[in-house]
Chain A
Amino acid sequence: MQTVPAVLDEFAIGFTVQRAWGSLVVMYLFLGGTGAGLFLLGIALGTAPGALIGLLLVGIGGLALLADLGRPRNFWRAFTHPRTSWISRGTYFITLLLLFGVLTLFPRLLPADQVPWLAGGVLDSVIRWLALVAAFLVMVYTGFVLSPSPAIPFWNAALLPLIFLAYSVMTGLGILLALDPVLGPLSLPLQALEAYQVALIGACLLLVLGHLVIMRGSTTAARASTRLLIRGPLALEFVGGVVALGLILPLVITLGALLGRGATFSTFLGVAAVLKLAGDYLFRSVLLRAGLYEPLL
């Protein structure tokens, strides 16, 4: 027997949770951000295989986004309105990142006689800079996609693009640190990178908590969203998952690695990277699920 979908939310009064964007969008936000961060740092720190993994993640994320569309075959139309729409701008950013990202990796991964331009040449540095700028834009623009409308006040926040940027760079660096024994030497000493990582985790923690504090002083729906995260049904995932396991524990581990260097720490950094990745995914997921519309009645 077929059932009629009852869209009860349609007539609901009080707070309603947004249901327009679900797990595929979370997947994209996570893969796109982390992938772009990994690509950017991979290129900056001289590890082409690391950058390649980042690019693959962005590609998979892009497919998730495509699969989420109601009419995926119409997707090319998303290129037509970059003047006002952040989704349209983002479509350009992802495309440019994938295009120039692949071109950046050619001379770094293929034998020199198979690529008509050299790594470090003028053409290469133009391509590389375009790819790096696109990677940066992919990390931040999703924050603007969520924030343009006051309809969902918890997203309507200037901090969001910054949080996404901090998370993307942090998880990207986390993966590079964990894969360091496999990927080979990075162009900066490990100790310095671990110090950066500690700073990045601290920044994420401050930004996420700062966002909650600002939202608590904001409109009724924004306050209700923070309650969902702190005391409501999402509290276990947010407080336990995003904050404790996803940020504080990796912070302690990375600080430990920084202060007491030893061979055992690469395993711990691996654990920290996995925790951060899970925390990043969970953060983007609870952020979407805590998106409450300002009530009409």
Chain B
Amino acid sequence: MRYGMAIDLGQCIGCYACVIACKAEHGTPPGVFWAKVMEKEVGRYPAASRTFLPVLCNHCAEPLCEEVCPSGATYKRKDGLVLINQEACIGCRACMEACPYGARTFWNGEGTYYPEGATPFELRGNGFISGTVQKCTFCVERLDRGLEPACVETCPTSCRVTDPSVSYLR
């Protein structure tokens, strides 16, 4: 079996719920976003509109990030998930240069969410090692519990699907 996710771009309303759900689920450090929504204005008034593009790690079939990684920190599992072993990452950032989707972010351990300093939640560390590269894990720990990724669960228009019974994911 190989995990996959489809996003119906026509359904995306640009509410950023997935961005926040991902943050809430993983407690990613400031400046690190595993799920993003890009936004662009198209057309001219009065026919102007906005289009949205939700972006996350595509867990590519042949991931270039894995190929260029000198430490083996980036690896691909049999079920298709591309993951980073933070312990092994040396922080060379070659994977960021190789990723065409801007899915990866380097975290140097700096910054807090509030100017007063780190909150107890941030101080807990949430398992992030500074000096490493971060990216979407497809909520691997939720999958292990039989749940869907947080962004999929939270999407109000249900434009994200991972259900393998959906024909185009098979």
Chain A residues packing against B (C-beta within 8 Å): 1-7, 9-11, 13, 16, 18, 20-21, 68-72, 74-75, 77-78, 80-81, 84-88, 91, 145-146, 148-152, 155, 291, 293-294, 296-297
Contact = CB atoms under 8 A, between A and B. Distances in A.
B94 A87 contact: yes
A87 B93 CA distance: 11
A77 B100 contact: no
A13 B129 CA distance: 29
A220 to B, nearest CB: 13
A7 B31 contact: yes
B67 A85 contact: yes
Given A69-B131, A74-B89, A84 B98 contact: no
B70 A80 contact: yes
A75 B97 contact: no
B36 A11 contact: yes
A13 B40 contact: yes
B3 interface: no
Contacts of B91: 69-71, 74
B105 A77 contact: no
Contacts of A4: 30-31, 111-113, 115
Contact of B69 (A81, A294, A297): A81
B72 interface: yes
A242 B148 CA distance: 53
Contacts of B99: 149, 151
Contacts of B105: 7, 10
Contact of A71 (B69, B96, B132): B132
Contacts of B66: 84
Interface string B97-135: 111111001101011110101000000000001111100
Per DSSP, are chain A's interface residues mostly helix, strand or loop, or mixed?
A: loop
A77 B90 contact: yes
Given A2-B111, A11-B38, A70-B93, A151 B71 contact: no
A145 to B, nearest CB: 7
Interface string B12-24: 0000000000000
Contact of A149 (B40, B72, B93, B98): B98
B24 to A, nearest CB: 17
Contacts, number: 141
30 contacts: A1-B115, A4-B111, A5-B111, A6-B31, A7-B31, A11-B39, A13-B40, A69-B90, A70-B89, A70-B91, A70-B131, A71-B91, A71-B131, A74-B71, A78-B70, A80-B72, A85-B67, A85-B94, A86-B68, A145-B94, A148-B64, A148-B68, A149-B68, A149-B100, A293-B100, A294-B100, A296-B38, A296-B53, A296-B55, A297-B53
Nearest to B109: A70
A4 B73 CA distance: 27
Contacts of A3: 111, 115
A297 B67 contact: no
B51 interface: yes
B33 interface: yes
Contacts of B71: 74, 77-78, 80-81, 88
A71 B64 contact: no
Contacts of B40: 13, 297
Given A84-B67, A85-B68, A148-B64, A297 B100 contact: no
B88 interface: yes
A1 to B, nearest CB: 5
B159 interface: no
A249 B113 CA distance: 52
A51 B5 CA distance: 55
Contacts of B92: 68-70, 78, 87
B154 to A, nearest CB: 19
